[in-house]
Structure 1
Amino acid sequence: MMRKLKIMMASLLLICAVLVLGTCAFLNRMEFGRNPQGNHYEILKKSPRFIEGEFRNPVPTPLFTDDSTVFSVIVKSIFTPKERLVPDMAVPSVKTDLFSLDPEKDLVIWLGHSSYYVQLAGKRILVDPVFSPYASPFFLFNRAFDGTNVYRAEDIPAIDYLLITHDHWDHLDYPTVMALEPKVKKVVCGLGVGSHFANWGYAASKVLEADWFTGLKNHDGFDIHILPARHFSGRGVMRNRTLWVSFVLQSEKRRIFLSGDTGYGPHLTQIGKLFDGFDLAILENGQYDKRWAFIHMMPEETAKAAVELGAKSVLPAHSGKFAISNHAWDEPFTRLAKASRGKPYRLLTPVIGESVDLDDEKQTFSHWWEPHEPLSGEVCESSGLIEGRTENRSDLE
């Protein structure tokens, strides 16, 4: 009996050891990056945002609004039926040839989720590019919707500035940034995020990480301001060792605000007043839930934030490619369109890959997420989009 008990105990210890070693090996994969260490960590400690070993929001921001935990949310997500979480057909898209664009033309192209290609003041800027089929460290989790993974690294021209708002997997994608490295002149990110890039082989001279209310000013014909967001960070077990940020791109001609992931908060009004409004605000609008309402805005809050920012036009982000929350895949667009009625801004809703001309205030876009009857026009075989289909929606003005 004792011999059997010893064998059982030894087996359990062996299983535990294998699990621990396996977990450690998994978390040490290159994709997870590396949190700041040594002298780098000492530099972060000088930031007023870095308190008791972690970055913090200026207002209390618990991860959950109730007694939920990460584990309980995952379990509930697995076992709770969800309706229309994923579209039942390919998401419409076009594939604009980025190499053929006039670099002096100011424009924005949505690449899906929170990824954007921006041309401003003769500079090419790439924001949070994720070209992998999954936005997760686990294979098969957070799979991109059919039709949304249109672009690859080889489709991207030389980039003057790669902007990273924070280090979550759906914003900082290891395979993508590694494939882009030869094309990127400068990475701009929040404090600590540069540690991931250093671990991945990016030269230190290529990476600028900075605190809120700093950035590149009077540089190459325009400014890049690093500003607050209300969120959190982390690619593994440890949270908030790197800083989450928003950006303002400012040229002599226009100002663009990039919210990154953020909950609604007083920082939005503050930023609007600081810059006296924006020609365009690219605002998060998706992956929300009442349980984590402090770290992601509801669509109605996105509309409210646009007004407080003084935005003339709004492009929604953080939706249309991945199902990270439990709402219907098209709900963010429907709710924001409704909330935007009568607001003093234009809601711009391009399909993935469609160019938004920042000099054309009359350019119109369709409610592409809505079911519709086929219209006359040329159908793009790869995505099902009817080329040139635009509708003048009065409720979006």
Structure 2
Amino acid sequence: MTTVSLTGCSTTSPYADSPQFRDGGFHNPVAPKQAGLAQMPRMLWRFMFDKPDDARPDAPPQVTPLTRAQLLAAPDGTLFRLGHSTMLLKLDGGFWLTDPVFSERASPVQWAGPKRFHAPPIPLEQLPPIEGVILSHDHYDHLDRAAVLALAAKTRHFVAPLGVGDLLVEWGVEASKVRQLDWWQETRVGGVRLVATPAQHFSGRGLFSKNPTLWASWVIEADGLRIFFSGDSGYFDGFRDIGERFGPFDLTMVECGAYDAMWSGVHMQPEETVQAHQDLRGRWLMPVHNGTFDLALHGWQEPFTRVSRIARERGVALTTPGFGEALDLRGPAPERAWWLPSP
């Protein structure tokens, strides 16, 4: 799989062959409900003046510090949660990172924008060599330019949806390291199989961007394990399609956090997180996209407490590793309510 290059394409888009691309941008099969320009003033007012008192934790969440030696000693089939949607997986003898964000703010500038609640469990510079980085889309809480450039020298492969790969090359990542895929396309790196699967979301790193790059979820197969990573998505029929094609999954990492009725088409409520997991035919559910950044209009603990209750009601096996904790993908530890204050 080679990178689609933007160089020299002045009249024909390099993405014109994608079923998801038309009228100069990428599109969902069905236009989802999301906040438009008319709703922006109200949304910004709510973010600035109408957040609940518990939208931010009183103290930084628990973090288990990690060292490079610990990571190197971990067996294949181990996952470490590093942040919001940043997971480090050890598969087929190598390390894989999802949506690595290590900056203080998920923002185009570091003096303003959503700020971290906690430091990463391990500094980026102390990470061991990375076999691959898996990117879901180009939003700032998933694609951290500073982290990508810092990782470029120690990372062998970057795997991304259409257009996101070209963005990495524009930033200075070697084109030979970049693979970008459309939905349902796949690539292999050694014993790791990666399939770009649909999601219901949007893209752009500017206020007036019109979906210049594609968004995706990912199927990850290695070491006899099958894992799903949702990236960002509203609830849609695509989860059932993915489950039918690739399920059952040993673990689904599904977004659960920074949701609101105003953008319900592109982010899921906790009830929908659990339903997506069930549609995917998952064995263990790990809720992600929570607990790290000041992105939400709900209490920072709310995604955990709601998804925990719903999972119990539906008989869904839930695992909730804290930041820096090791998770055995073959035998995940049951839910531990680390987000609650110690008695």
Q: TM-score, normalization: structure 2?
A: 0.92
* Counterparts in 2 of 1:274 and 1:353: CA distance versus 1, 3 Å: same
> Within 2, Cα distance between the matches of 1:42 and 1:52?
10
The answer as to whether partners of 2:317 and 2:334 remain within 8 angstroms in 1 is no
> Within 1, Cα distance between the matches of 2:287 and 2:247?
21
Residue 317 of structure 1 aligns to which amino acid in structure 2? V
Partner residue in 1 for 2:31: 60
**Which of 143, 160, 164 in structure 1 is aligned with 2:115?**
143
Alignment of 1:70 with 2:40, yes or no, is yes
Residue 112 of structure 1 aligns to which amino acid in structure 2? G
> Within 1, Cα distance between the matches of 2:51 and 2:307?
25
Q: Secondary structure of 1:118's match? A: strand
**Which of 109, 116, 123 in structure 1 is aligned with 2:94?**
123
Count of aligned residue pairs for this structure pair: 335
Larger Rg: 1
How far residue 329 of structure 1 moved from its aligned partner, in angstroms, is: 0.5
> Within 2, Cα distance between the matches of 1:240 and 1:67?
14
Structure 1: runs of 5+ lacking an equivalent: 1-34, 374-397
> Within 1, Cα distance between the matches of 2:64 and 2:103?
18
The answer as to whether partners of 1:307 and 1:344 remain within 8 angstroms in 2 is no
Matches within 5 A, 1:29-48: 38-39=8-9, 42-48=13-19
The answer as to whether partners of 1:264 and 1:294 remain within 8 angstroms in 2 is yes
Q: TM-score, normalization: structure 1?
A: 0.80
Structure 2: runs of 5+ lacking an equivalent: none
> Within 1, Cα distance between the matches of 2:41 and 2:313?
41
How far residue 84 of structure 1 moved from its aligned partner, in angstroms, is: 0.5
How far residue 98 of structure 1 moved from its aligned partner, in angstroms, is: 4.0
Regions of 4+ moved over 6 Å: none
**Which of 223, 226, 232 in structure 1 is aligned with 2:202?**
232
Partner residue in 1 for 2:50: 80
> Within 1, Cα distance between the matches of 2:335 and 2:34?
35
Residue 62 of structure 2 aligns to which amino acid in structure 1? P
How far does the alpha carbon of each residue in 1:119-155 deviate from its partner, in whole angstroms, 9 at most, with x for none?
122231001111111001242310101x343332112
Larger displacement relative to structure 2 (254-263 or 194-203): 194-203
Matches within 5 A, 1:253-264: 253-264=224-235
How far residue 251 of structure 1 moved from its aligned partner, in angstroms, is: 2.3
* Counterparts in 2 of 1:79 and 1:276: CA distance versus 1, 3 Å: closer
Partner residue in 1 for 2:342: 372
Partner residue in 1 for 2:218: 247
> Within 1, Cα distance between the matches of 2:46 and 2:297?
10
Aligned CA-pair RMSD: 2.0
**Which of 266, 279, 288 in structure 2 is aligned with 1:308?**
279
The answer as to whether partners of 2:66 and 2:324 remain within 8 angstroms in 1 is yes
> Within 2, Cα distance between the matches of 1:45 and 1:360?
43
* Counterparts in 2 of 1:98 and 1:277: CA distance versus 1, 3 Å: farther
> Within 2, Cα distance between the matches of 1:313 and 1:182?
34
Residue 312 of structure 1 aligns to which amino acid in structure 2? R
The answer as to whether partners of 1:193 and 1:243 remain within 8 angstroms in 2 is yes
> Within 2, Cα distance between the matches of 1:81 and 1:205?
45
How far residue 76 of structure 1 moved from its aligned partner, in angstroms, is: 3.0
The answer as to whether partners of 1:68 and 1:291 remain within 8 angstroms in 2 is no
Q: Secondary structure of 2:195's match? A: strand
Larger displacement relative to structure 2 (157-166 or 132-141): 132-141
Q: Secondary structure of 1:279's match? A: strand
> Within 1, Cα distance between the matches of 2:228 and 2:99?
14
> Within 2, Cα distance between the matches of 1:206 and 1:290?
39
The answer as to whether partners of 2:105 and 2:113 remain within 8 angstroms in 1 is yes
> Within 2, Cα distance between the matches of 1:258 and 1:153?
21
Alignment of 1:89 with 2:59, yes or no, is yes
How far residue 103 of structure 1 moved from its aligned partner, in angstroms, is: 6.0
The answer as to whether partners of 2:67 and 2:122 remain within 8 angstroms in 1 is no
Q: Secondary structure of 2:314's match? A: coil
> Within 2, Cα distance between the matches of 1:134 and 1:357?
30
The answer as to whether partners of 1:142 and 1:322 remain within 8 angstroms in 2 is yes
Residue 58 of structure 1 aligns to which amino acid in structure 2? P
How far residue 69 of structure 1 moved from its aligned partner, in angstroms, is: 2.1
